[in-house]
Amino acid sequence: MLTIPTQQLQLILQKRRQKQVKSLLIATLLGFCMLLVGIQTGSVQQSVSVLMDIVLQKFHQQALSQEQTIQWYIFAELRAPRMIMAMLVGALLAMSGCAMQGLVRNPLADPGLIGISAGAAAAAASVLAVTNHFPDIVFSGYYLVALAAFLGALLAVWLVIVIARSPAGMAISTLILAGVAVNAVATTHIGAISYMANDDALRQITYWTMGSLGGINWSKVVFVGAFFLPVCYLFLHLRQALNMLALGENEAQCMGLNVSKYKRLVLWLVAFSVALATALCGIIGFVGLVVPHIARSLFSADHKYLMPACGALGAILMLVADTISRALFAPIEIPIGIVTSAIGAPFFLYLLTRNKSRGVYA
Amino acid sequence: MLKLENLSLHHGNTHLLEDLSLHVQSGDFVAVIGENGCGKSTLLSCIAGLHKHYRGTLLFNGVHLHQWHIKQLAKFRAYVNQHSQLQFAFLTEEVLQLGRANQLESQQQSSAVICEIAEMLSISHLFGRDIRTLSGGERQRVFIAKALIQLVPQQNEKITNYKDKLLLLDEPTSALDFRFQKAMMDLVHSFCQQGLAVICVSHDINLVLPYAKEVMLLANGRCLASGSVAQVITSENLRQCFGITPRLITQTGAAPYITH
């Protein structure tokens, strides 16, 4: 027989779950609306009804007019893959940010803190400079840069972990300092490469570091998509561990969490996700920093709800940013990293000011 | 249930703990007292299993502490830290729920445990509140409740009391008001009567002595004296430990009261 306080607590928990699920559904609906807006927006305006007609005609195996063929090509080969990629990358970056903030117990943390983005940029810049200087040796420019960026990001994280490791375990403060050092080394490397590179390479490096979803095709979407599900599963698996870590490492260990194992898991998972996103789309800033904040204020600090919320909101934010990047100065496309920073930086400043007045940092 | 023999802990050339021995039985309340920086909290964290590189013997329920599986150990020992590091807006009940994270039970069962302990510590009214907005005392009660919740056996477990379980308290009453200081110690003592062993570090000697079955007096990481209250709490021992000679007010059948 349950006592009255137990029933009250059950009711509180049930209400909270319902509220979170409702918010998550609203977010999904918002995402769907953004998807519809995104489909129609760009240098060529398209209406969903026209696209639906084309789908029906294709279903009934009717021939398409030339205009319809172009419209279908724009939708199916250009817009759809980049929008799906935007959602995948947004979700990955936001969940990585959430995990990183949980790990270091600091709401102002970002995956870039441990040198992932800088490592990727340093490697990508090196390859861009070399391939630009020796165009004959290039066997596959884009993929070579992507591979270098991916490996550069992982190398940076590996360096940070090796520096931070000690017999007593890996201290978070040392990890952050090691991240600062690796970031500095990578930035110096980028500076040196940029100084020596010719104008063309310099432009390519600058463009790459701004992030872009241009050139995304279905094969890249499938590639990221194949990793997306297992990575998502692992992020969701970390929910309870991150909740425990939020109380402090000693507390978490006393509650039965293998802290060193989970710290390594979080770091490598974040490194892999961000490296994957950065390799294919360049550096996209502020998503990993800002989305967990928005999610925390809209949902809850409990990672059980926060992690899926970050995934959904990250996807939505990237969809919005992608639509803006295509629509604002159409037909010119603004690099998406600029858009996310333009949205994220003022919002971040607003959060800092608000938190300062409240005396809290979340 | 807990056996420390010649326990030492070094950090570089610094001797944090030196040659400590202690035997704790189920239901014991052990008070660890000593001056600031003498190693009380370090001893507690060592017993909690937070230091790997200790020397000596540290047996918990007959098994070396480092051989315990971390999840299993969490069901048998809980630790209340001196400071909570929570930066995020967790709600009171979310923190308490973490105490049941290792138990395979329904939410209904865990809610029943949480409510029972929350009622005992008078924190039920804090459900729904952001933990960071609570007062120091309220937060301290929440974290002690979480530790107790962690030790409550599962309903289908055969153990119905707290035998073989250990609660480590580091300054548990430092932020509590006069009323709750006494209430907290009474509550912890009632758990001791159900078999729970408690090791409590406190600077409030007069508060813990009436409950203590055994006292350990630490100075510079070494054990100055250990044993029953009467054996340890003497003017000479306190003078050696704190460098001052306090006045001891003794009454028959009651713990001594220490004053300047």
Whole-number average pLDDT of chain B: 88
pLDDT at A169: 76
CATH class of A26-58+80-358: mainly alpha
pLDDT digits (tens, 9 = 90+) for A204-215: 888 888 888 888
Own/partner contacts of A267-270, CB < 8 Å, gap of 24 or more, are A267/A103, A267/A114, A267/A157, A267/A161, A267/A175, A268/A157, A269/A96, A269/A99, A269/A231, A269/A234, A269/A235, A269/A238, A270/A96, A270/A99, A270/A100, A270/A103, A270/A111, A270/A114, A270/A116
| Per-residue pLDDT at A96 | 95
Query: What are the counts of helices (DSSP H) followed by strands (DSSP E) for chain B?
Result: 9, 12
Over residues A182-226, the pLDDT tens digits come to: 999 999 999 998 888 888 888 888 888 888 888 888 888 999 999
Of the ranges A62-76, A97-111, A279-293, which one carries the lowest mean pLDDT score?
A62-76
A162 and chain B in contact, CB less than 8 A: no
In a mutagenesis test of the A interface, which of B47, B52, B87, B102 is the best target, namely the one with the most A β-carbons within 10 Å? B87
Share of chain B above pLDDT 70, in %: 98
Residue whose tokens read 């607003």: A350
Residue in A with minimal Cα distance to B167: A254
B115/A5 Cβ within 8 A = yes
Length of chain A: 362
Q: Do A2 and B112 touch (CB under 8 A)?
A: yes
Domain count, chain B: 1
CATH number at residue B54: 3.40.50.300
Q: What is the pLDDT of residue A201?
A: 83
Q: What is the pLDDT of residues B64-109, one digit of tens each?
A: 998 999 999 999 999 998 777 777 889 999 999 999 988 888 888 8
Angle at A268 between CA A267 and CA A271, to 5 degrees: 85
- Report pLDDT for A355: 65
Tell me, yes or no, if A263 comes closer than 8 A to chain B by beta carbon: no
pLDDT band for position A140 (cuts 50, 70, 90)? low
Residue A93 pLDDT: 94
**B28 in helix, strand or coil?**
coil
Domain that holds residue B248: 2-259
Q: Given this model, what pLDDT does residue A242 score?
A: 94
pLDDT at A357: 65
Q: How far apart are CA B163 and CA B142, in angstroms?
A: 23
Residue B178 near chain A (CB below 8 Å): no
What is the residue-wise DSSP string for A145-166?
A: HHHHHHHHHHHHHHHHHHHHEE
CB B30 within 8 Å of CB B1: no
Q: Which residues pair with B15 in a beta bridge?
A: B10
> B19 pLDDT exceeds 50?
yes
Q: What is the pLDDT of residues A84-138, one digit of tens each?
A: 999 999 999 999 999 999 998 888 888 888 888 899 999 988 888 888 777 766 5
Q: Which of B70, B89, B116 sits opposite A253 (nearest CB)?
A: B70
Average pLDDT value for residue range B25-31: 93
Query: In this predicted structure, what is the pLDDT of residue A3?
Result: 56
Q: Using CA coordinates, name the residue in chain A closest to B144.
A: A251
Please tell me if residue A172 touches chain B, with a CB cutoff of 8 Å: no
Please provide the DSSP assignment of A192-254 as one string.
Answer: HHHHHS-HHHHHHHHHHHH---TT--HHHHHHHHHHHHHHHHHHHHTHHHHHHHHT-HHHHHH
Q: What's the confidence (pLDDT) of residue B158?
A: 56
Reported confidence tier of residue B253, pLDDT bands at 50, 70, 90: confident
pLDDT at B63: 92
* Facing A301 at nearest CB: one of B53, B75, B90: B90
Is A231 in contact with A92 (CB distance < 8 Å)? yes
Q: Give the DSSP letter string of A170-201.
A: E-HHHHHHHHHHHHHHHHHHHHHHHHHS-HHH
Q: Does position A19 have pLDDT exceeding 80, yes or no?
A: yes
- Which pLDDT band, with edges at 50, 70 and 90, does A361 fall under? very low
Shortest Cα distance from B229 to chain A (angstroms)?
A: 29
Residue A38, pLDDT > 90, answer no
Mean pLDDT of A316-323: 91
pLDDT surpassing 50 at residue A362 = no
Q: Is B199 exposed, middle or buried (0-12, 13-18, 19+ CB in 10 A)?
A: buried
Mean pLDDT score, B147-153: 91
Q: Is A105 on the interface with B (CB under 8 A)?
A: yes
Reported pTM: 0.87
| Torsion (CA) A345, A347, A349, A351 in degrees, nearest 10 | -140
Q: pLDDT tens digits, residue range B183-236?
A: 889 999 999 998 999 999 988 888 888 899 999 999 889 998 899 888 888 888
In A, which residues are within 8 Å of B41 by CB distance? none
B117: CB partners within 8 A, 6+ apart: B96, B145, B148, B149, B152
| Residue from B222, B238, B205, B191 nearest B29 by CA | B191
For residues B198 and B25, is the Cβ–Cβ distance under 8 A? no
pLDDT of residue A268: 92
Whether B107 sits inside 8 A of A167 (CB atoms) is no
Where does the pLDDT of residue A237 fall: very low under 50, low under 70, confident under 90, or very high at 90 and above?
very high
Contacts of B52 in chain A (CB under 8 A): 168
Taking CB atoms and an 8 Å cut-off, how many pairs form between chains A and B? 115
User: How do strand B197-201 and strand B166-170 relate by DSSP bridges?
Assistant: parallel
Q: Cα distance from B207 to chain A (closest Cα, Å)?
A: 26
Q: DSSP readout, B47-102?
A: HTT--S-EEEEEEETTEEGGGS-HHHHHHHEEEE-SS----S--BHHHHHHHTTTT
B99 touches chain A (CB under 8 A): yes
**Predicted local distance difference test score (pLDDT) of residue A95:** 95
CB nearest to A5's CB, from B48, B84, B119: B119
Q: What does DSSP say about strands B54-60 and B2-11: parallel, antiparallel, or unpaired?
A: antiparallel
ipTM of the prediction: 0.89
Most confidently modeled of A85-89, A353-357, B13-17, B244-248?
Answer: A85-89
What percentage of residues in chain A have a pLDDT greater than 70? 94
Sequence-ordered list of residues with C-beta below 8 angstroms from that of A137, at least 6 positions apart, any chain: A131
Å from A287 to nearest chain B CA? Answer: 19
Judged by CB atoms closer than 8 Å, whether chains meet at A360 and B132 is answered as yes
Helices (H), chain A: 4-40, 48-59, 66-73, 80-104, 116-133, 141-164, 172-196, 199-210, 218-237, 239-246, 249-254, 259-281, 287-298, 303-327, 336-358
A1 in contact with B, Cβ within 8 Å: no
